[in-house]
Amino acid sequence: MNSLSPIPFNDLSRTPEELLVRIQSAASKVISSGWFVMGPEHNALESELAEYVGAAHAINVANGTDALQLALAAVGVKAGDLVVTVANAGGYTSIATRLLGAIPAYCDVDKATHLMSAATLRACLENVSTTPKAIVATHLYGALAPISEISAVAEEYGIPLVEDCAQSLGASISGRRGGSLADIATTSFYPTKNLGAVGDAGAVFTNNEEYGLNVKTMRQYGWSGKYNMEFTGGQNSRLDELQAAVLRIKLPLLDGWNQRRRDIHSRYESASNGRVEFVNSSNESFVGHLAVVTSPRREELQDFFASKGIKTEIHYPIPDHVQKLPAPFERAQDLSVTERLATEIFSLPLFPELTDTEVDRICQVLSELP
Ligand SMILES: *Cc1c(COP(=O)(O)O)cnc(C)c1O
C-alpha cells in the first residue's frame, strides 16, 4: 500500500523535526522581543545574503515581484519605457514592469536551454521600437542564463542588466554566484523556492552604490530618514523579523539542499535514458529548482505519471504574450520557440525532502515510459 501512496509535486510540511524546532524557537524569540520589522534579524540577514551571493549590498524586500519592480525602478525604468524580458518565466517580470507603467518587450528563448541567450537578446534589440531601459535575464528552473555573453550585448547597447535569481539562488559559474553577475539582481523567498521563508519575502542584490541606495529608500516610503519623504518611487516593501530569522537559519543549509536537488535530478536523467529530454543536466551551475522535461507527447506522459500516483505540473503553460490580460507589450521578434516549448514542457517532483523510496519510484516510471 505504502509504495502506491501518491507522490506530491512538493510538500512544505516535510521540514525535518530538528530544523522545525530551531525555526519555532527563533520565531518565538522574535515574538517575545517586541521588534517585528526591520530589526536585528533583518540586518544580519542582509549581511549574510550579501556575503553568500558575493554582492556588496543585499536589500531585503517584501517579495520577489517587489524586488523586480524596485530593481527596475532603481536603474531608471519609468512609465512608458520598454523592459526586455522572456515570455516563458511565469510572468513576474511582466507584472513588475507594468507596476511601473512600463512595457515588456519580449525576447525569444534558446530552444535547448529555454533561457535568454546573447543571440535571442540581440535579435530582440535589433527590432524594438525604441531603446529599452532595462533587460531582465531570468535564471529559470535552477540554471544560470549565459550572463557574461548577455552582459556583453547589454553593455554594447548601454542598457542596465537585471538578473532574476528567484529559481536559482546558489547557482554559480566560474566560482561566482548568480546575483553578483549583472548591474542588479533580485530573488524571492516564496516558500516553494530553493530558499523559502514561512511567508512572502524577497531581496535585491547589487554592487552599485546608487542602485542600492535607490532600492533602500524606495522600500520604505522614499524616506531619507524617519518621516522625511525625499525620493520618488517610495512604497512599503519591508521584510519582517520573523521571515528574516527563519531565512537566517535556512541560508547555511541551502547549498546542501541544492546538492540533494542536483542528485535527485541526476538520478532521473540516468533512469530516463533519453525517453524524455531533460531541459537541464545536473551540472555544477544547476541548482535543480524544477525538473523540467520536454516531449511532444506531453499529455500522454503526464497521464502515465498520474496513473502511477506521481503528480506533475507545467511551468509555465501560457507564455506572457498569450495571456488573456489586456495589457500592452511589444513583440520585438518571432516568439515561436517560446510558444512551442510551452506545449511540450512538464515538471516532475523535485524537492530535497523527497524520500529515496519516492525517488526510486519516479526513476522506475521514467525507465518504463511508453
Ligand atoms: C517566484 C518568482 C518570482 C516572484 O516572486 P514572489 O515572491 O512570488 O513575488 C519572480 N521571478 C521568478 C523567476 C520566480 O520564480
| 196: nearest Cα among 219, 170, 216, 220 | 170
Predicted confidence (pLDDT) per residue in 334-361, tens digit: 999 999 999 999 999 999 999 999 999 9
Q: DSSP letter at 325? A: -
What is the C-alpha separation between 242 and 38, in angstroms, rounded? 10
What is the C-alpha separation between 15 and 166, in angstroms, rounded? 21
Expressed in angstroms and rounded, the spacing between residue 274 Cα and the centre of ligand 1 is 31
Expressed in angstroms and rounded, the spacing between residue 227 Cα and the centre of ligand 1 is 31
Predicted confidence (pLDDT) per residue in 283-298, tens digit: 888 999 999 999 999 9
Rounded to 10 degrees, the C-alpha dihedral 210/212/216/221 comes to 50
Amino acid 108: pLDDT? 98
Q: Which of 116, 138, 190, 292, when mutated, tests ligand 1's pocket best, judged by the most ligand atoms within 8 Å of its CB?
A: 190
Q: DSSP letter at 277? A: E
Predicted confidence (pLDDT) per residue in 160-191, tens digit: 999 999 999 999 999 999 999 999 999 999 99
DSSP 47-69: HHHHHHHT-SEEEEES-HHHHHH
Is pTM, for the whole model, over 0.95?
A: yes
Q: Are 204 and 186 a contacting pair, CB within 8 Å? A: yes
Which residues of the chain form beta strands (DSSP E)?
A: 57-61, 82-86, 103-107, 134-138, 161-164, 172-173, 176-177, 184-188, 202-206, 223-225, 228-229, 277-278, 291-294, 330-331, 345-348
Ligand 1, atom 5, lies closest to the CA of 64
What is the C-alpha separation between 236 and 218, in angstroms, rounded? 8
Ligand 1, atom 12, lies closest to the CA of 166
Backbone angles phi, psi at 147, to 5 degrees: -70, -35
Pairing of the two strands 277-278 and 228-229: unpaired
Contacting residues for 163 by C-beta, under 8 A, at least 6 apart: 136, 137, 139, 145, 147, 178, 179, 181, 182, 184, 185, 186
**Using a 6 Å cutoff on CB, does residue 89 contact ligand 1?**
yes
Amino acid 2: pLDDT? 46
Predicted confidence (pLDDT) per residue in 99-153, tens digit: 999 999 999 999 999 999 999 999 999 999 999 999 999 999 999 999 999 999 9
**Using a 6 Å cutoff on CB, does residue 168 contact ligand 1?**
no
Q: Are 81 and 96 a contacting pair, CB within 8 Å? A: no
Rounded to 10 degrees, the C-alpha dihedral 167/169/174/180 comes to 110
DSSP 175-215: TEETTSSSSEEEEE--TTSSS--SS--EEEEES-HHHHHHH
Expressed in angstroms and rounded, the spacing between residue 225 Cα and the centre of ligand 1 is 30
What is the C-alpha separation between 46 and 60, in angstroms, rounded? 6
Expressed in angstroms and rounded, the spacing between residue 58 Cα and the centre of ligand 1 is 17
Share of the chain above pLDDT 90, in %: 97
* Helix (H/G/I), strand (E/B), else coil: 318: coil
Backbone angles phi, psi at 58, to 5 degrees: -120, 130
Expressed in angstroms and rounded, the spacing between residue 192 Cα and the centre of ligand 1 is 10
| 71: nearest Cα among 194, 186, 225 | 186
**Using a 6 Å cutoff on CB, does residue 117 contact ligand 1?**
no
Ligand 1, atom 2, lies closest to the CA of 166
Integer angstrom CA distances of residue 57 from 184, 201, 333, 345: 10, 17, 35, 36
What is the C-alpha separation between 11 and 352, in angstroms, rounded? 10
First to last CA, the chain: 24
Amino acid 3: pLDDT? 53
- Checking if the pLDDT of 1 tops 70, the result is no
Rounded to 10 degrees, the C-alpha dihedral 208/214/216/217 comes to 160
